[in-house]
Amino acid sequence: MEEAEAPTDRPPYVEVKCEISGMRRRFAIGTEAGFAVSVINDKLGSVDSVYIEAVKDGEEPITFGPNSLLVDYGHGWTLHTVTQLVFSGEEGVVRPKPKQVPHVMSSDNLLAKKRVPNQAINFMYIGKILLAFILIFVLGAVLTLVLENVPRLIELLEQYV
């Protein structure tokens, strides 16, 4: 009789350590990193944590993008938030660079559409629309003239054939 495989010691979740609060948050394996960051930000009431990294002593950190799935890389690897600081230009003041993370709309992982800023309507835009309408009417008039004269063209061709 074969022996059953020993269960792994890995839990069915990943822990992300928030560098600002020091707290650990648990997420299901496969959770999108952008969702995890937004949950952490909501708990903090700020937008300081920008992204999540997996780190291990002596190894290059692994950065999770907003659509990356959170995974456990094994012994020695830990997930934590990274705050990206940008100098604001005011003397001695360092502020985090704000970044918006897309939120999951529903259980099928559709992301919220980004809003496109309104573009000013200028004279060039209106001129292009008017030119398009004029060209449509000219093309319609030419096709009408051609179709009205098809019988004459057929008669003319019959004389030469």
Provide the pLDDT for residue 94: 45
The tens digit of pLDDT for each residue in 6-21 reads: 455 667 788 888 877 7
* 51-55 and 24-28 beta bridge pairing: unpaired
Provide the pLDDT for residue 104: 47
What DSSP string describes 91-139?
TT-EEEPP---PPB-STT-PBPPPPPPPPPP-HHHHHHHHHHHHHHHHH
**Is the model more confident about 36 or about 157?**
157
pLDDT at 52 over 60: yes
What is the arithmetic mean of pLDDT over 53-64? 85
What is the arithmetic mean of pLDDT over 137-160? 94
d(CA 75, CA 59): 13
Beta bridge partners, 81, equal 52
Global pTM value: 0.45
Contacts of 97 (CB under 8 A, 6+ apart): 50, 84, 85, 86
Helix H or strand E encompassing 142: helix 123-148
Provide the pLDDT for residue 111: 47
d(CA 60, CA 74): 15
Provide the pLDDT for residue 128: 93
d(CA 118, CA 83): 31
